[in-house]
Structures are given as structure tokens and as C-alpha cells.
Structure 1
Amino acid sequence: MGKNEFLTPKAIANRIKAKGLQKLRWYCQMCQKQCRDENGFKCHCMSESHQRQMEVFGQNPNRIVDGYSEEFESSFLEHMKRSHRFSRVAATVVYNEYISDRHHVHMNSTQWATLTEFVKYLGRTGQCKVEETPKGWFITYVDRDSETLFKEKMKNKRIRADIADEEKQEREIRRQIEMAEQLKPLGNETAEPLESEPKVLAKSESGEKIVLSLGASSKPVGRERVGSSKLVFEEPEIDAKNGKVKQNGKSGKIGGASRTALDDLMKEQEKAKERINRKDYWLCEGIIVKVMSKALAEKGYYKQKGIVRKVIEKYVGEIEMLESKHVLRVDQEELETVIPQIGGLVKIVNGAYRGSNARLLAVDTDNFCAKVQIEKGIYDGRVLNAVEYEDICKIVQ
């Protein structure tokens, strides 16, 4: 058996020594050989096999370096996608995880001399969000997967369809309310009073037969029945001068008796919208929130305001701080809504009118609520009283 055969003690000892990571400057990517010290690397560079590889490298050095660079970049991003797809992490942490495999493409064979240059390159190309902090460089993977983009597109399409259906249903309800408001007073005026006292049926002495009438009125069937059917199936005409309702030549004023039924209908509608739109999550993009996490007090973020740039899985917000421009990921339990000055714009983040923009009219500090007026949309101009602070938040302007 030879001196350096596979199962000799010396070969086993060499494999044990070479098992861990070695110095990057003593690694030859062309030969894929790791040397343990400077003397070993010098001897390797003088070897015949290395000289042959360098002759191949000298024929087209740019293409070989570009190939190693592309392989290093794709492997690094693939590791980011698998391990830190939705998190903000230090670049050194990702790099240490990537080089844990001994057979990776080493950085000394690429066009980047340091990890900082590579991180800046990822930021320039838009493959990662790059942020420089006192603790070093932090990166966030930008997911540009076609499947993810398709899912996001379909989700936005469903949201737009739901909003369109809701607006259509709202217009239909409004039309029915207006019809009920116009028809109810006229129906009350034209209806015949019912007899309140019951009559006792008694057999007459002359022996005449008793005839029971099942109709509500004893008037002959004729024009009145045609008129009543027309009243039901046709819209009444409204006189623009005196505000009266015209039907078959008759007119009647829209009375206040229908106001109670109208108010009840609107209240039921408000309750139904409140049940549908009241959620346990309220974060949305483009609002200003206050960080209330005491765990971040040491870093100076406690009670500081920031802008919600992205919402992750409904409950976590990616917050860009207004002062330091640092980007944090904070759960909504550790965030608080911000109320602007009177006249400022707010977004209704929860409740019946969730997603609508409104203008702040007044603030009730005793009851922790506000008065707002909705702007734009199908509810344009509607004034909401006693909206809780937690349901509205300041908008970035």
C-alpha cells in the first residue's frame, strides 16, 4: 500500500485537517484546491497542474471570471430565497451560511474583491434591498418570482372585483331607499281606513243569505285596481316646484312618516357593513404609525413615527422611520395609529368604511373619538360621528 493511499493514517489525518473552512487567500478556484498555509499555496502555484490551468485561464480570463461571478451570484441569491425570503438579515450572516459548504464558488475568483462591494452590487441591480447601519450591512431579498407576481396580481384583481360589487350593491340599496321614501306617504294617503270594531254575524228574520266579502274595500273593481297596479310597478312622478308626488292625477307631499323606516334601513345597512369590514388586522400601506415597542427603546425607536411601506401577512408592517430612515419590521400589536391636526387627511383602517379616505373635522378627547367626512368614492361627503382613534390613521402626503 502506498504512502498516501486513501485508507492510510496520513491520508485520513489530512482529510480531518482539511474538513473545516480554511483561509480564502489560500484557495485556488481553477484547481479547486484548498491549501492550509502560505507555504502549501506557494508550492501549489509552482506545480505543473496549476501551470496548465493558468494557461487555460490566460486564453480568455474575462469569460472565466464572469462565469464564476454569475455562479456565485446565483448561488448566493438562491440561498437567500430559501433561508431568508421574507426577512431582513445581516449580509455577513448570509455569507457565513453560504460558505459553510466547502465546494462553493469562492469570492476571490469573482469580480468582487469584498463582501461590501457585492452587497452594493445587489442593491444597484434591485435584487435586494440594501441598508447600511452601525451594525453593518443588512439586506432583504426582493421576490420577483413569476408565480408570486401572478398570485399578487390575482389577489389585487379579486379585491377590485369585490369593491366594484360592493359599490353596485350600495347604489341599488340607495335606489330602493329613494323609491320607498317616495311611495310610502302616497300609499298611506290612498289606503282606506279599516274598521276597528268587529261585527257579530246574525241571521236575519227574512231568511236572506249572508254574503261575506273577502276584499278590503267594497268599491267596484275598475279604474282603481288598474291604478293600484300602476302604483306598484311604475315609478311616481315628482313635482319639482312643490315637492309633491303625482300618481294618476293625484298628488301628495313626501311626509316625515317614512323617515323612521328610512333611518332604520340605513342603520341596518351600517351594522351589516360593520360586521363585514371589522377585522382583527388594520395595517395598510401609506399611513403614519407610532412604534410603541419597549424592546426597541434602547435603539431609540420607542414612540417614534414611521411610514408603513409594506404589509407582510396582514399583521406585520415594514416601517421606514421618519427621522433615521431605518427600516424595521414590527408587529401591529406594537404599533399605534397617529391622529393629524384638524383638517388633515386620514384613512379609515377598520370598521364599516374601511379603506376610505376622509378629512378630520373634530376631535373628542374625552371619549377618544373623532368626527370625519369621507372624501371621494360612493360615500363622498358623508359625515361620520364618534369614530374611534384606533379606526383612523394619518396619511402620508
Structure 2
Amino acid sequence: MGKNDFLTPKAIANRIKAKGLQKLRWYCQMCQKQCRDENGFKCHCMSESHQRQMEVFGQNPNRIIDGYSEEFEQNFLELMKRSHRFSRVAATVVYNEFINDRHHVHMNSTQWATLTEFVKYLGRTGKCKVEETPKGWFITYIDRDSETLFKERQKNKRIKADLAEEEKQEREIRKQIERAEQLLPPEQNRESEVEDSAARELKLESGVKVGFALGNSAKLASKEKTEAAKLVFEEPESDRGMKRKADGGGSKSALEELMREEEKKKEKINRKDYWLCEGIVVKVMSKALAEKGYYKQKGVVRKVIEKYVGEIEMLDSKHVLRIDQQELETVIPQIGSLVRIVNGAYRGSNARLLAVDTDKFCAKVQIEKGVYDGRVLKAVEYEDICKIVQ
């Protein structure tokens, strides 16, 4: 039996060694050749075939690296979509599955030196939801295919139609209130004309008092700003106390029930898992950016990419970063400043900050402009409001 025979111990050992994956630093992507040790890789680099490939690489290195990077990213996301489409999985688990194919594009030929850099890139570009935990990096695939986008567009159309229907109902309620005001008895009209400084009150059968300001009274015009902070359908505290004493706790009025149902409906429709919007001031909470000085620094959202990723212009350095909303936090301004309601029933409305409850982590705001102009929301969570850039 010859020294180089197929069944010699040395030949069998060589086949066993070549069966599994070898070290990444001894792989040549241009030649698609894996070397088993440093000496073999050195000999390969001195070979004529490798030198010819290096001449091709030297003519346009950026284009070749970009091509390998694009292919690596495409195959990695394809594996995520096929195997872990709806699950949160460790990045190392997906990478180990990816490199099981011996003919995959190796990472040392791409623009990313480590798996961590590649995972951060996926998070910045909004292709995956990325989380850093004590057990390592975890990623969740974000489905962006045409069918999903089509369903999302259809869902957005339904939401807009529901919002239009809500506005119609609001206008209808206001018209009913105006008609009820006109149906006041003439005796009450005469009394209200004598008392110029008092607002007109309408008492319904349910016992609810609805206040209306007289438009032709000069004194009431100055009161509109202070009374705008009260809900149209809100009862005074004294009336509530009298009603509780009279009927032992009392039943909820029909108007209060209607308003409460409308609030619940709007909350269900407008509560989303994304809240970023342009023109708000946010705080960067990514510890990975602490070394570069961005941790707990504030910036302005200039652009929102696929709902979950924002282009943030830092207020101090004017640098522009792409950061996932998971690593951002809303900013609560001083009392009296303008804020944007970024989530919940009144999502997208601008409001004035009236008070802050630090114990319950909520705030009291008054909506400005629009259909709900003047409405006061008493317990809005910090995460649902954010400072507007002035």
C-alpha cells in the first residue's frame, strides 16, 4: 500500500479534519479555499492562483466587498425569515445555523468584522429588532414582504375610516348640545341675560349640568381661557357630592357613559407598539453609545424609517444617528410647554402641559386645536407624551 493511498491512516485523518468547519481567519473567500493551519494559509497566499485573484480584487475592492456583504446579509435574513420568522432568538444561534453550509459567504470577506457589528447594523436599518441582554444579543425578524405591507395598508385605511366616523359622532354630539341650549325655557333665558358674569347652565333629566359660555358677553370672553381646561361634560365637585348624598353613590350619567365608551374605542384603535414621529425631542438610552458620548443625550427626530427607527439629530453635537425606538425615551418639558401625544386615544394631537404627577409618573395636559380643542386629559403616562422642538 502506497504512502498516499486512499485508505492510509494519514489520508483518513486528512479527510476527518477537512470534514468540519475550520478557523475563519484561514479561509480565502476570493479563492473559496479553506486552509487548516497558518502554514497552509501562508503557502496558499504565495500561490500563483491566489495572486491572480488578488489582482482582480485590487482593481475594485469596494465593489467586491459590498457584493459579499450584500450576499451575506441577504442569506442571513432569508434564514431568519424561513426559520425564526416570528420568534426572538439569540444572534449566535442563527449564525451557527447559517455557517453550517460550508459554501456560505464568510464574514471575514464582508464589511463587518464581528457578529456584534452586523447585529447592530440590522437594528439601525430597521431590518430586525435588536436587544442586548446579559446572555448576549437577541434579534427578532421584522417582516417587510409585500403581503404584510399590503395588509398593513388595509389596516391603516380602516383606522382612518374609524377616526373619520368618530369625528362625525363628536360633531353630532356638539350639535345636540347646541340644540338643547336653544330649547331652554324663556324664564331661564331672562335670568341668564341679567347675570352677565355667569355661564349658562343646562340641566338634563339625568341630572348632569352642561356649561355654555355666552358669546356676546365681554366678561365671559376673558373666562374662556381659564375654563377651557375643563371638560365640557365634567361635573363640579360640589354637584358630585350632592348627587352622592342624594342617591347613595349615584348612577353614571348617559353622557359620561357615552364619553367613556368613546375614550375606550379611541384608545383601542390608536394604541400602537410604535410611537416615533418627526419633530419631537427624545433622549438616547443606549449604553452601547456611552463611549461616544451619546448616552442620556437629547436629540430631535428628523425622520422616521419604517415606524421603528428614527434619524436623530443630537442637540449638542448636531451629529445624525439612526437608533431604534427601543433605545430612546420620551422627554417631559417644563409646565406650560407644548407636547405631542405620541400614543393612546389622542395620538398625534398637540397639547399644553398643565401639571406633572411624579409619584404616579403621569401628567395633565390640555389639547390645543383640532376637533378636541380645549379637552383636558388628567392622567397621561410619561411614555405617551413627548416634548416638541420649538
In the superposition, the TM-score normalised over structure 2's length comes to 0.53
State whether residues 340 and 348 of structure 2, in contact with CA within 8 Å, keep that contact through their aligned partners in structure 1.
yes
State whether residues 371 and 385 of structure 1, in contact with CA within 8 Å, keep that contact through their aligned partners in structure 2.
yes
| 70, 80, 102: which one aligns with 1:73 | 70
Task: Using the TM superposition, give the Cα deviation of residue 66 of structure 1 relative to its aligned residue in structure 2, in angstroms.
Answer: 5.8
Matching residue of 1:22: 23
| 251, 256, 275: which one aligns with 1:267 | 256
Give, as a single letter, the amino acid of the residue that structure 1 aligns with 2:177.
Answer: I
Q: For residue 164 of structure 1, give the secondary structure of its aligned residue in structure 2.
A: helix
Where do residues 377-396 of structure 1 align in structure 2 (5 Å cutoff)?
377-380=370-373, 382-384=374-376, 386-390=378-382, 393-396=385-388
Matching residue of 1:245: none
Task: Using the TM superposition, give the Cα deviation of residue 104 of structure 1 relative to its aligned residue in structure 2, in angstroms.
Answer: 2.0
Task: Using the TM superposition, give the Cα deviation of residue 395 of structure 1 relative to its aligned residue in structure 2, in angstroms.
Answer: 2.6
- Label 1:70 to 1:5 Cα distance change in 2 as closer, same or farther (>3 A): farther
Percent identity between the two aligned chains: 51
Q: For residue 360 of structure 1, give the secondary structure of its aligned residue in structure 2.
A: strand
- Label 1:288 to 1:178 Cα distance change in 2 as closer, same or farther (>3 A): same
| 351, 354, 359: which one aligns with 2:352 | 359
Matching residue of 1:375: 368
- Label 1:385 to 1:79 Cα distance change in 2 as closer, same or farther (>3 A): closer
| Unaligned 5+ runs, structure 2 | 131-136, 194-199, 211-232, 234-252
Task: Using the TM superposition, give the Cα deviation of residue 360 of structure 1 relative to its aligned residue in structure 2, in angstroms.
Answer: 1.8
- Label 1:5 to 1:113 Cα distance change in 2 as closer, same or farther (>3 A): farther
Task: Using the TM superposition, give the Cα deviation of residue 14 of structure 1 relative to its aligned residue in structure 2, in angstroms.
Answer: 0.8
State whether residues 311 and 317 of structure 1, in contact with CA within 8 Å, keep that contact through their aligned partners in structure 2.
yes
Task: Using the TM superposition, give the Cα deviation of residue 359 of structure 1 relative to its aligned residue in structure 2, in angstroms.
Answer: 0.8
Give, as a single letter, the amino acid of the residue that structure 2 aligns with 1:169.
Answer: Q
| 344, 368, 371: which one aligns with 2:337 | 344
State whether residues 348 and 391 of structure 1, in contact with CA within 8 Å, keep that contact through their aligned partners in structure 2.
no
| Unaligned 5+ runs, structure 1 | 132-136, 190-241, 243-253
Where do residues 310-349 of structure 1 align in structure 2 (5 Å cutoff)?
327=323, 330=326, 338-348=331-341
The separation in 2 between residues aligned to 1:73 and 1:366, in whole angstroms, is: 50
Decide which structure has the larger Cα Rg and report it.
1
- Label 1:350 to 1:2 Cα distance change in 2 as closer, same or farther (>3 A): same
Larger RCO (CA under 8 A, 6+ residues apart): 2
Matching residue of 1:173: 173
Give, as a single letter, the amino acid of the residue that structure 2 aligns with 1:75.
Answer: F
Task: Using the TM superposition, give the Cα deviation of residue 154 of structure 1 relative to its aligned residue in structure 2, in angstroms.
Answer: 3.0
Matching residue of 1:285: 276
- Pairing 1:156–2:161 present: no
Give, as a single letter, the amino acid of the residue that structure 1 aligns with 2:159.
Answer: I
